[in-house]
Amino acid sequence: MNRIDRLTAILIHLQTKRVVKAYEIAERFGISLRTVYRDVKALMEAGVPIGSEAGKGYFIVDGFHLPPVMFTQDEANSMMLAGKLVEKIADKSVREAFDSALYKIKSVLTDSDKDNLETLDSNIEIHFRGRSANNDESFPDHFMTEIQRAVAKKQVLKIDYCNANNEVSQRWVEPAGIFFYSLAWHLIGWCRLRNGYRDFRSDRIKAMTNTGEVFKSRNDVSLKEYFQAMFMSNRSLVQAIVVFDKKALANRPLRSAVTQTDLGDRVRAEFMMDSLDYIARWLLMFGNEVEVEEPEELRDRVSQLAEELFHHHTKAQSV
């Protein structure tokens, strides 16, 4: 990326958050802090009103905005691919919001880029086991957009929740975050009824009201810490740590990973699954581009499945 493109990208980045730390810019663009300081100074000299707070970061003075941003073909293609995933794992409210955003992106593309995007759209299909596109039975009341809003604004939600025994109870929840695992979206939050953090599956929420009440932050646990604690208390979940070659993930995003760590040419991912057999069968499609670090039972199951496949095809060939 040349300097002019980088300066433009830095300016866009500064508008994505109220305050942006210098090290965030350095990490994103692979430059030194000294280069960040020089680039920000260049933007200021060009007339961009950038302020700074010692120990906090840079910010754009209120009232300044860039003109409408043009998208590159690759950026538009990436949004199209993301939309295909949204169709599979999001509820109606999120799908509608994403579709609206995608239409806005399409509106600023050149005619040739629009044609390319239409061609790409008709040649992408994602099969997601256990859920089909636009299957509203999995998301009966379309609460995900409201949940996201409450998480962002720290607002209390009142929900009617149906548990695994088909018993409905009314809860007041201070939402901490949302997570996708075991083929469902889950709302993680402090339940005032149970006086503790609880996991609410979105497809079991029968009714929801945003009370508008802003709750004070607790000594919140991170989602990762919550899942670690949940794993310790719920042995039906299987914790798996798997390392993938990056090239194997080019067209296979890790949708349900709890954490992902960049190892250079490889990615270490942590999963919380309720079926050891399911994840073992899924890992088979990565061939020798994946390595199971733990648990040992998962390595053994993958090996067993691979051996069964080998004997099956060897026998078929001999016949």
At residue 319, the pLDDT reads 52
At residue 139, the pLDDT reads 46
Classify residue 172 by its DSSP letter. E
Q: Could you report the per-residue pLDDT of 29-40, keeping only the tens digit for each? A: 899 999 999 999
At residue 136, the pLDDT reads 45
Pair of tokens at residue 52: 């700074």
Distance, CA of 44 to chain centre = 34
Residue spans of the domains in the chain: they are 3-60, 73-121, 144-223, 238-317
At residue 161, the pLDDT reads 92
At residue 34, the pLDDT reads 93
At residue 33, the pLDDT reads 92
Structural domain 144-223, CATH architecture: Roll (2.30)
CATH number of 3-60: 1.10.10.10
- The parts of the chain modelled with pLDDT lower than 70 are 65-70, 127-142, 181-183, 219-237, 251-253, 255-256, 274, 316-319
CATH number of 238-317: 3.30.70
If you write DSSP's letter for every residue of 13-64 in order, what string do you get? Answer: HHTSSSSB-HHHHHHHHT--HHHHHHHHHHHHHTT--EEEETTTEEEEPTT-
At residue 214, the pLDDT reads 93
Q: Apex CA 32: angle with CA 26 and CA 33, to 5°?
A: 75
At residue 138, the pLDDT reads 44
At residue 108, the pLDDT reads 72
Strand order of the β-sheet with 290-294 is: 259-262, 266-273, 238-245, 290-294
Pair of tokens at residue 105: 């992106």
Strand order of the β-sheet with 196-201 is: 196-201, 184-191, 168-181, 155-162, 205-214
